[in-house]
Amino acid sequence: MYGLYAIGFIASCLLALLLTPLVKKFAFWVGAVDAPNHRKVHTRIMPRLGGLAIFLAFVGAYFVISPALEVFDYSAALSLLIGGAVIVITGALDDRFQLSPKWKLLGQVIAACIVVSFGLKIDLVNIPFGTTNLPVGWLSIPITILWIVGVSNAINLIDGLDGLSAGVSGIATLTILVLAIMMPNATVVLLSIILLGSIVGFMFYNFHPAKIFMGDSGALFLGFALATLSILGFKQAAVVSLLLPIMILGVPLSDTFFAIMRRYVNKLPISAPDKSHLHHCLLQLGFSHRTSVLIIYGISLTFGGCAVVCSVFISQQFMWGLVVVIVALFMLMLVGAEAIGIISKSRRPVLSFLQRLVRRQVQTDRVGK
């Protein structure tokens, strides 16, 4: 079985390596390029549509390896392939013609509805510190659609530096793969491993200095695939709610959350573009392009590692360990966000509170001496 998985990874990686240069030429030919402007960090015209290479490599490797598998959920895979095709087409059209937000959203909703139509839904919301699973009934459909659309856009929002979205998505895919092996879930293992191979192959051309961008076609597809795999991988786990998927996707989801908070604090429309995302803040602090990407990779690995640890704690019913990890991760995320100014450059209530505590403790120690 593991030999087949290895073949799937190698096949998807090689296909991405072979297809990406062809897609690059195609992007220039159809005019799907990204010109530099005041919000971009690149300084020359770059081809987009890289997501087309990722998707085609994923599909090709799937058809190479899936016939040899005996225990496999072909219905779930089909939903990912058909929905993925819809969202890649939507992203590709945007890469070329700059679609309006409503048309992009329509394509994402259609792709999410395809997944739902194949029976993949968030049917239960689990209370991690109890034994009760709360059925959500008819709300499972809008919750699932909202999850898929939200994650797709979250991955798209962090696509601001060479190799950033691809690398973060690859780390999230690797985390899902590890958890699927632990469960085990053969379908998620296969789909995750060929998606990971497609990302790795594409990264040879996308890491700084990039030769091609994945564009919306890639970012939306990777977000869609990760959201769908998280539903497929964890919907049958009685002790797992959306906690683990949220942790796995911690970097794009937290960056999206902070972007909403930032625009609320600054009284700007939620859809207003800015240059205060995580990668922008790291660049403003003086880190190089490559170093900023590697720092975010490290943060993503931390989230992924915590998700694996929490999965072990949940399986062992060690809920206090789960609480400690969640609280520590949340505080670290909040302090880090304020330190780099991702919400506001001037308002830092948590850091100010901690500084007052430290000064008070220092004064107390001096008086005691």
- What is the C-alpha separation between 139 and 267, in angstroms, rounded? 31
Q: For the chain, what is the HEC assignment? A: CHHHHHHHHHHHHHHHHHHHHHHHHHHHHHCCEECCCCCCCCCCCEECCHHHHHHHHHHHHHHHHHHHCCCCCHHHHHHHHHHHHHHHHHHHHHHHHCCCHHHHHHHHHHHHHHHHHCCCCCCEEECCCCCCEEECHHHHHHHHHHHHHHHHHHHHHCCCCCCHHHHHHHHHHHHHHHHHHHCCCHHHHHHHHHHHHHHHHHHHHHCCCCCCCCHHHHHHHHHHHHHHHHHHHHCCCCCCCCHHHHHHCHHHHHHHHHHHHHHHHCCCCCCCCCCCCHHHHHHHCCCCHHHHHHHHHHHHHHHHHHHHHHHHHHHCCCHHHHHHHHHHHHHHHHHHHHHHCCCCCCCCHHHHHHHHHHHHHHHHHHHHC
pLDDT for the residue 242: 63
CB 46 within 8 A of CB 34: yes
pLDDT for the residue 227: 92
- What is the C-alpha separation between 123 and 144, in angstroms, rounded? 9
pLDDT for the residue 270: 72
pLDDT for the residue 40: 58
Q: For the stretch 64-89, what's the b/e string if a residue is b when 16 or more beta carbons lie within 10 angstroms of its beta carbon?
A: bbbeebeebbeebbebbbebbebbbb
> Nearest-5° angle of CA 184, CA 186, CA 189?
90
Greatest extent of the chain over all pairs of C-alpha atoms, in Å = 75
pLDDT for the residue 239: 40
* Full-model pTM: 0.89
pLDDT for the residue 352: 78
pLDDT for the residue 360: 79
Per the listing, tokens 């601001």 go with: 160
Per the listing, tokens 């950033």 go with: 164
- What is the C-alpha separation between 24 and 50, in angstroms, rounded? 7
pLDDT for the residue 266: 75
pLDDT tens for 9-36 read 999 999 999 999 999 999 999 999 887 7
Q: Which residues of the chain have pLDDT under 50?
A: 131, 236-240
pLDDT for the residue 159: 84
pLDDT for the residue 237: 44
pLDDT for the residue 295: 94
CB 71 within 8 A of CB 186: yes
